[in-house]
């Protein structure tokens, strides 16, 4: 029988070793942005196809591609943090990370001129931007992509399932951002 003292000494070591094994094998690394952090969602539902418009008014269907990670970013022209987040995502896209697609969806207006004007003031040449002209993203947000803050980025894993989200303007090029993306590449 274990004494109370031996339990008190061994418990923190056991908990730490269990956490370390759990974190390494099945839980994503911590990734934070200001007051928010990457939050895992359950269940991991498949990402639906989204019918959108590109910045030239052409129809586009956006879907997760098997074997690739997709970051789906929802933003608005009134959003101050989006002015920081979109250039960060464009920098990430420009770095051409392995097996990664980035989709930025404007949710607050269907006015392409207003969206192009907003984006024209930002450095986002490498970013695939779309407008939710048909309400597809809005409908998906009630079913799957809960808009709990703006901007918000959902990470869709290699299997096409939504894994989690982060609000705000995280630094995807930071070591923590790279670790998170690498974790989901290895989950493929």
Whole-Å CA distances, 160 to 65, 121, 147: 7, 33, 19
Q: How many independent structural domains does the chain possess?
A: 2
Burial of 9 (0-12, 13-18, 19+ CB in 10 A): exposed
Condensed to tens digits (0 to 9), the pLDDT of residues 141-180 reads 655 556 666 899 999 999 999 999 999 999 999 999 999 9
Token look-up 């974190």 returns 23
Condensed to tens digits (0 to 9), the pLDDT of residues 68-97 reads 999 999 999 999 999 999 999 999 998 887
Condensed to tens digits (0 to 9), the pLDDT of residues 31-48 reads 887 788 999 988 888 888
**Between β-strands 36-37 and 32-33, what pairing exists: parallel, antiparallel or unpaired?**
antiparallel
**Residue 13 or residue 186, greater confidence:** 186
Regarding whether 155 and 122 lie in a shared domain, the answer is: yes
Regarding whether 48 and 23 lie in a shared domain, the answer is: no
Q: Quick one: tokens of 82? A: 């989006």
Segments forming the whole domain that contains residue 84: 31-186
Domain harbouring 113, CATH code: 3.40.30.10
Regarding whether 84 and 60 lie in a shared domain, the answer is: yes
Regarding whether 2 and 70 lie in a shared domain, the answer is: no
Regarding whether 109 and 86 lie in a shared domain, the answer is: yes
Q: What is the pLDDT of residue 59?
A: 94
Buried b (16+ CB within 10 A) or exposed e, 70-106: bbbbbbbbebebbebbbbbbbbbbeeebeebbbbbbb
Regarding whether 147 and 134 lie in a shared domain, the answer is: yes
Contacts of 138 (CB under 8 A, 6+ apart): 107, 132
Regarding whether 78 and 11 lie in a shared domain, the answer is: no
Regarding whether 105 and 17 lie in a shared domain, the answer is: no
Regarding whether 85 and 46 lie in a shared domain, the answer is: yes
Condensed to tens digits (0 to 9), the pLDDT of residues 107-146 reads 988 899 999 999 998 989 889 999 998 887 666 665 555 6
Output the DSSP codes for 101-119: EEEEEE-S---HHHHHHHH
Regarding whether 23 and 102 lie in a shared domain, the answer is: no
């Amino acid at each position: 029988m274990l004494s109370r003292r031996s339990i008190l000494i061994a418990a923190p070591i056991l908990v730490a070793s269990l956490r370390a094994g759990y974190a390494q094998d099945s839980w994503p690394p911590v990734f934070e942005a200001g007051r928010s952090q990457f939050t895992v969602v359950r269940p991991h539902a498949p990402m639906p196809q989204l019918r959108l418009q590109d910045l030239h008014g052409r129809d586009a269907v956006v879907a997760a591609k098997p074997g690739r990670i997709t970051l789906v970013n929802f933003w608005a022209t009134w959003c101050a943090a989006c002015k920081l987040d979109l250039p960060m995502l464009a920098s990430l896209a420009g770095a051409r990370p392995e097996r990664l697609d980035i989709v930025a969806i404007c949710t607050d207006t269907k006015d392409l001129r207003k969206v192009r004007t907003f984006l024209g003031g930002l450095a986002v040449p490498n970013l695939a931007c779309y407008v939710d002209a048909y309400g597809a993203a809005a409908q998906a947000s009630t079913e799957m992509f809960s808009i709990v803050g703006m901007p918000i980025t959902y990470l869709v894993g290699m299997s096409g399932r939504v894994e989690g989200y982060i609000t705000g303007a995280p630094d995807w090029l930071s070591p923590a951002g790279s670790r998170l993306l690498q974790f989901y590449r290895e989950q493929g």
